[in-house]
Each structure stands twice: as C-alpha cells, then as structure tokens.
Amino acid sequence: METVESQIGGRSSITATGRFHGSDGAPEPQLASESHRARWLETHHPAAAWPDGGHHFRLGPCGAPPPPGQSPPMTDDSEAPGRPADAMLTLELSDEAATEALAARLCALLRPGDVVALGGDLGAGKTALARAVIRTAAGAEVEVPSPTFTLVQTYDLPIGPLWHFDLYRLSGPDEVIELGWDEARAEGIVLVEWPDRLGRLVPADRLEIVLSFGAKPGHRAVAITGCGGWVKRVSALKDVRS
C-alpha cells in the first residue's frame, strides 16, 4: 500500500491511497502521458485477454445492470418510451480548457452516493477528465496520480470522499469488491474507468460519460447519458463550451 498526501492551505486535506498489482509482482513505471500509458498497457496487458477486446464501453441498459454472465453492448435508449431527450447529451471538447469546463460543471453536481462511469478507448481522455474533476473539487492544483497501476485512489474533498477506480486489469466484480467498492458506494463519490468490469455491480443510478477521439487532432467527442436519478441532472451539463 502506498499513501500520497498533498498539502492544501498548510494542512494535509487530500490523501490518495492505492495498491500496486504489477503483472510480474513489481511496481510498474509511472509514465508521463496517456499515450505512453496506452502503449505500455497494450504491450504488458494485452486487451486480447478480454472477451470484448478490452476497448469498448459495454454496460447494460440504463436502469439495470447487465444480465448475469453477460456484457451486452451499451444501449442507446434515447428513444425508449418515457425517456426524456435531455437525459442524453453530446459534446465536442477542443482542448484542455473545454475539458476543465466540463469538469467544473460536473463537479458542481456531484454529491456522495454518485457514480460516474467513464468509458472510451485507451488514451481517449478518461483519466484527464477525472483528474480535472478532482482538482476542481479540491479547489487547488494537487497531485492526482493515475490509478492505472494502483487500481484505486481515494481523496478527502470538500464535496465528500471521492474514489477514483481504474478497472482495466481486473477480471470481474469480485476483484472490484476487494478494492473497497462497497465502502466507496456507501460513503463517497465514485469515478470509475472501464466500468464494464463491474458486471453485476453496475448501479442503476449512474452518469455515463463516453469519450472518443474527435474529428480534429486533439479534439474529443463526449457522449453523456443520465441513468436513474441522473436523468433530470444531465441538463446542467449542456452549456459547456467547446
């Protein structure tokens, strides 16, 4: 177990904790960028080990977890009976400032008990968005390590405890539970990358954010879907400018 403490206002108000789970038992290297991380993961943790290829955001329809033993494709249920159109939103983020603007609006909505499922290909910007949310919530420039190697980082923030999970290398929900999932759900805000690994643990109430590479270099396309209690809250994210 490693513990990293960041100082804010002269006191230790944010604590990040995590566990190393190296493929060879040794700590993996801390890499400088998402693209470096993506290449490293492709080499050392091949996505071929996953039934879906490891590159697709696959959850059950909003309001329910996927059936036992199955990982059905994420459903576009925008036209489902009774489903308001404003429960879904698409954005184009042109740069880091646009990502930070989205993070600021999202941060203003978050409260303990919330789950934000971050999907998208390797290097699409899931960690960058999560990092922006955490720094906005902290109200200061703080170190936000990627949980790619530690699997989970926790933060004590003014808006409440926040748990940042990266489940890329896990084989299923039982391993997620070992990371403290139940505790996180009971008391904190959860940001989870690669949420398809949750299986039966996928909560009915969640905000799904799927990032993909945009049409222009450096741009990111973002698809946001509110599920359960998030349906009426998504509209607050609409005014983010790209």
More confident residue, 212 or 235: 212
Task: Look at residue 171 in the predicted model and tell me its pLDDT.
Answer: 83
Residue 225 falls within a domain, yes or no? yes
Neighbours of 14 (CB within 10 A): 25
CA 197 – CA 211 distance, rounded (Å): 17
Is 109 a domain residue? yes
pLDDT tens for each residue of 170-224 = 988 999 999 999 999 998 999 999 999 999 999 999 999 999 998 899 899 999 9
pLDDT > 80? residue 15? no
The runs of H, that is alpha helices, within the chain are 34-44, 96-109, 126-138, 173-178, 181-187
User: pLDDT value at position 143?
Assistant: 87
136 or 55, which is more confident: 136
Please, what sign has the CA dihedral across residues 191, 195, 201, 206? positive
Backbone angles phi, psi at 36, to 5 degrees: -65, -40
pLDDT for res 240: 60
Q: What is the pTM of this model?
A: 0.70
For residue 159, give the nearest of 135, 130, 131, 141 by alpha carbon.
135
The predicted structure's pLDDT at residue 239: 66
3-state helix, strand, coil in the chain (%, to 5): 30, 25, 45
> 215 is in which domain, residue-wise?
2-237
CB distance 57 to 191 below 8 Å: no
- Residue 65 has φ and ψ, to the nearest 5°, of -75, 165
Render pLDDT for 78-126 as a digit per residue (tens, 0 to 9). 444 444 555 888 999 999 999 999 999 999 999 999 999 999 988 899 9
Measured distance CA(191)–CA(189) in Å, rounded: 7
Structural domain total, the chain: 1
* Residue 165's CATH number: 3.40.50.300
More confident residue, 9 or 24: 24
Residue 87: what pLDDT? 82
Share of the chain above pLDDT 70, in %: 63
Q: What are phi and psi of 130, to 5 degrees?
A: -60, -40
What backbone phi and psi angles, to 5 degrees, belong to 75? Answer: -95, 130
pLDDT tens for 155-169 read 999 999 999 999 999
Confirm whether 242 is domain-assigned.
no
The DSSP call for residue 73 is P
**Residue 238: its pLDDT value, please?**
77
SS3 label, residue 21: coil
235 pLDDT exceeds 70? yes
Q: Which two tokens stand for residue 137?
A: 């919530």
Q: What string of DSSP letters covers 84-149?
A: -GGGEEEEEE-SHHHHHHHHHHHHHH--TT-EEEEEESTTSSHHHHHHHHHHHHHTS------TTT
**Averaged pLDDT score across all residues of the chain:** 74
Judged by DSSP in three states, 236 sits in helix
With respect to residue 55, please indicate whether it lies within any of the assigned structural domains: yes
